[in-house]
Structure 1
């Protein structure tokens, strides 16, 4: 185990944003044999930084805007496992899909770094 407890910084009110919402969906099989999604929104705190930022991609047929952020938090975000789909993080009124999660549980209390892409892509 590492000796540096980075989670202390993540919980510092000077860095932390308490207005994050995680919407987690679990899929089950309904009575008709079709997939049924059960969603559960949860408020959590974390440090949000720019990943690649907002990018404008231009193509011959048009253009689209995409964006991404990184969220460092002690809340266990997921990019999807088994019956759980990728978490949706809402920050400043924009929705992002968690596409990758780096696990740093070996630093003190532990935390994750989640890479999130803006949804929907706008073009």
Structure 2
């Protein structure tokens, strides 16, 4: 199999971005959430129509990006919340993960968030 992680991590293609990962604990019946900033590198492009067809809400998305990285990002599950990615001054929420680990990378479709409300734009 071809391992494309060399391309994804190459300084010619890759760029740095910040991932905000949330975690929390229950304490005395209240949920307390914290956010950790992680520095990552990868290839980020604008999501194309084929990418948007792969996520259920694709026809409603505006400002979606496609991220290719050698490290997995988290999407919403029962045990946690989606990672948020800061790129070019905007925040995006990881909406869909495609684990191509056999080829050395992960693909994530992320949707732009409204800075005033913190929800998808």
TM-score, L = length of structure 2: 0.79
SS for the counterpart of 2:64 is strand
Gap regions ≥5 residues in structure 1: 54-64
Distance in 1 (alpha carbons) for counterparts of 2:84 and 2:100 = 20
Deviations for 1:1-42, whole angstroms, at most 9, x for unmatched residues?
Answer: xx1111111011110002x000000132123x1111121110
* Contact 1:26–1:37, Cα closer than 8 Å, also in 2: yes
State the match for 2:54 in structure 1: none
State the match for 1:79 in structure 2: 75
Please, which of 16, 19, 35 is the counterpart of residue 39 of structure 1? 35
1:1-123 equivalent positions in 2, closer than 5 A: 3-18=1-16, 20-31=17-28, 33-52=29-48, 66-107=62-103, 110-120=104-114, 121=120
Distance in 1 (alpha carbons) for counterparts of 2:43 and 2:5 = 11
Distance in 1 (alpha carbons) for counterparts of 2:19 and 2:65 = 14
Distance in 2 (alpha carbons) for counterparts of 1:41 and 1:83 = 19
Deviations for 1:25-77, whole angstroms, at most 9, x for unmatched residues?
Answer: 0132123x111112111011010011049xxxxxxxxxxx9310000001210
Task: State how many pairs are aligned.
Answer: 106
Indicate the structure with greater helix content.
Answer: 2
The alignment yields a C-alpha RMSD, in angstroms, of: 2.0
Q: Where has structure 1 moved over 4 Å in runs of 4 or more?
A: none
Q: Mark the structure with the bigger radius of gyration.
A: 1
Q: CA deviation at 1:84?
A: 2.1
TM-score, L = length of structure 1: 0.78
